Amino acid sequence: MEEKTEAAEVEARPLLAAIKTGYLPMSKKSRRSMVKPIYRGGCLCGAVRFEADGPALNPHNCSCEFCQRHTGSLTASWVEFSATDVRWVGSGGSPAVYRSSDFSSRAFCPECGSSLGAIDDSPTVALLIGTFDDHRLPELKPDYHSFKPEKPIWG
Ligand SMILES: [Zn+2]
Ligand SMILES: [Zn+2]
């Protein structure tokens, strides 16, 4: 009986219980945020679609010549994932690739030509942030700029 009363009290006053025990019960919201996020995106025509499990690593801009030629844009925004965390889920399957260096291939949609990312021999897939369904997520904000001297002086 004593036990029951105490349990009921703890339930009714979770914050007090947390202070007493040093254990802070998680709210539903914080429990949700601990689940690995899934990032989704794809090409212009929709044939090549991806799902990538977080964490989203190393978000950055790059203005190297490879990125400029691959995207047609003077600056490309990238984020990286472990290769095992990226799934190609669209009707077109995996993207077409062009071997761009000794260790990496550039990925694009064979239907519409959209640039999608870079698939490295090392277990990393870098995806262009412009292909994400939601590119405004704070964790996708670039941390740094590679090949900065090559970026346009006007932007
Ligand atoms: Zn496409
Ligand atoms: Zn680059």
Q: Of the ligands numbered here, which is closest to the C-alpha atom of 44?
A: 1
Question: How far is the centre of ligand 2, averaged over its atoms, from the C-alpha of 123 (Å)?
Answer: 18
Joined together, the tokens standing for residue 42 give 């794809």
Which amino acid is it at 37? P
The percent of residues above 90 in pLDDT, for the chain, comes to 69
Residue with tokens 């994932």: 81
Give tens-digit pLDDT for 39-67.
Answer: 999 999 999 999 999 999 999 999 999 99
Question: How far is the centre of ligand 1, averaged over its atoms, from the C-alpha of 92 (Å)?
Answer: 8
> Domains plus CATH for the chain?
1-34 (no CATH), 36-150 (2.170.150.70)
Residue 38 φ/ψ, nearest 5 degrees? -115, 125
How would you label 17-32 residue by residue, b for 16+ Cβ within 10 Å and e otherwise? beeeeeeeeeeeeeee
Give tens-digit pLDDT for 16-42.
Answer: 444 444 444 444 444 555 678 999 999
Residue (of 90, 114, 117, 93) closest to 105 by Cα position: 117
Task: Report pLDDT for 152.
Answer: 86
Question: How far is the centre of ligand 1, averaged over its atoms, from the C-alpha of 134 (Å)?
Answer: 18
Residue 90 has pLDDT above 80, yes or no: yes
pTM of structure = 0.77
